[in-house]
Structure 1
């Protein structure tokens, strides 16, 4: 078997969790306002996305980064699969078993999920061009992205920030499923009123990451509003809050905001996601405050 050519920047195991009863996902292309159904392996991927020919020229593995991601994904798939089982069978307030090594692996995975996407690569290209360094070839852009992803200090800083947060897991028992996207790690301002593209280190900003259509993960920093609310005591617990369809829709708006292009669901309807996208840049409405 040859080396894989199609490299996913959102893992297949994760996307498959949003599949319908025939193992396909529904996708809304927000750029073209088009809905279609496809297999998870077809989405959030590009040919040779992590290929680094410069490594091959040095006698090394040109898809080393892709293999590293695959190894991490295998471990995190098992860990989060256990979480989903425990949460679905648990009760509000139940605490998930969380060995430190699992917390470290998932923290690294979430940090890298944010940094590894096509959206991040496009931002790198734009920043480089703004600085007067226009990247003429795809190879140059892949190399720049690889430097970011292999920047141990940067990635470790992101992962530590996530790992030191309080992790809460909410079970969605409404008829409205959580959706995800091709850029699924979202950031919300401390006052709950705004989604932010990249503000993990702003005070009070927290991570919102859907794990499946019925489970979502919140990562709250121990600072500001969240320290006052003493969320630390809820770390690794199933949230006592009963989600409403409105709350699910609010969290889904994050995926619309964060998505480079594609929003993904186990259901065909994207009416509320479309409505939110039409409101972006207007004062039509904002995500509600929970204060």
Structure 2
């Protein structure tokens, strides 16, 4: 790691403080339920949670490390978020100011550990498959006695800088999603507040059963697609291909929901899409949180073999999150 400067930013928040503040209670804290230990939630300030040290740092040509450039760029998008939330809460017309909403949602999908670990997992599988193929072709030295299966036993760590580059493609790729859905602002009028998480931008195929749904697995451009992005305990952005025509004519739609079962269903999706942490403005929804503590959106890789070779298929599933090898 290169020499750090006095003004270097160390805490790189993958969930911005500007976003977390909308979910704080009267004491300025948000309840953090870690999926590894959901029975013991902790009240945290926005500054003290949802960050990793030097998470967006990049190597410099001179051998040093730039710890500020990406954080400074993200701040240009985050700075307008409180005003956007205030306008949505006040039910004001946002149709000529939607750029901050789209940019914020896209960035919040691309920057989180759930997305970056996915990219690094795909790269790690590619490296390992190449190693296995080279071993099968006799292109590697003979492994020591007792380690004949060494290529399959090896753990592959990926330079995290690679997943920083992949954020750009993911950010830009969300345009295809926005092209086929309509967006609405949902005002939660029930006593059950919206939850959120360290992976708050979610979408799925609503035409199949809850048990059969896979994270971020939809049929574009035909659809159907449902998108959820909680904004505060009482506000959420909900997107759906069923709203596309109305959205094209009227712009951002507004809706009030007083059906607690529907809010519960939305929160259940939020809980299982959470990667490491579920975030709440108040205690009281432990039934949903504990139900999905054992699953997160993770990478599943399959090798489909044919007569002339094999095809690697990557998909996301709801499964147990594993600690990746440290770089």
TM bucket normalised to smaller: 0.7 to 0.9
Query: Which residue of 57, 60, 63 maps to 1:51?
Result: 57
CA drift of 1:209 comes to: 0.5
Match of 2:257 in 1: 242
Match of 1:254 in 2: 269
Match of 1:92 in 2: none
Answer yes or no: is the 8 Å Cα contact 1:168–1:217 preserved in 2: yes
Match of 1:220 in 2: 240
Match of 2:319 in 1: none
Answer yes or no: is the 8 Å Cα contact 2:18–2:81 preserved in 1: no
Matched, 1:17 2:17: no
- Flag the 1:55–1:7 CA change in 2: closer, same or farther, 3 A: farther
TM-score of the superposition, structure 1-length normalised? 0.79
CA drift of 1:48 comes to: 0.4
Q: Which moved more, 1:60-69 or 1:33-42?
A: 60-69
Matched, 1:97 2:83: no
Answer yes or no: is the 8 Å Cα contact 1:206–1:220 preserved in 2: yes
CA drift of 1:226 comes to: 4.8
Which structure has the bigger radius of gyration? 2
Distance in 1 between the 2:63 and 2:180 partners? 40
Distance in 2 between the 1:31 and 1:132 partners? 29
CA drift of 1:200 comes to: 5.8
Q: Deviations over 1:51-107 (max 9, x none)?
A: 11235648x9543111111111112332232212x23xxxxxxx72321xx323321
Superposition map of 1:1-291 within 5 A = 2-33=7-38, 34-54=40-60, 57=63, 61-84=66-89, 86-87=90-91, 96-99=93-96, 102-132=97-127, 136=157, 140-141=159-160, 143-151=161-169, 154-159=170-175, 161-162=177-178, 165-191=181-207, 193-194=209-210, 196-199=214-217, 202=220, 203-221=223-241, 225-226=242-243, 232-233=248-249, 235-239=251-255, 241-274=256-289, 276-277=291-292
Q: Which moved more, 1:194-203 or 1:262-271?
A: 194-203
Q: Which has the larger share of strand?
A: 2
Match of 1:286 in 2: none
Q: Deviations over 1:200-253 (max 9, x none)?
A: 6641112100110001111223xxx556x85655641211x5332211111111
Answer yes or no: is the 8 Å Cα contact 2:227–2:239 preserved in 1: yes
SS at match of 1:4: coil
- Flag the 1:198–1:125 CA change in 2: closer, same or farther, 3 A: same
- Flag the 1:44–1:279 CA change in 2: closer, same or farther, 3 A: closer
Q: Which has the larger share of helix?
A: 1
TM-score of the superposition, structure 2-length normalised? 0.71
- Flag the 1:117–1:65 CA change in 2: closer, same or farther, 3 A: same
Distance in 1 between the 2:252 and 2:16 partners? 23
CA drift of 1:163 comes to: 6.1
Q: Which structure is higher in RCO with an 8 Å CA cutoff and minimum separation 6? A: 1
5+ unaligned residues in a row in structure 2: which ranges?
A: 1-5, 129-154, 297-327
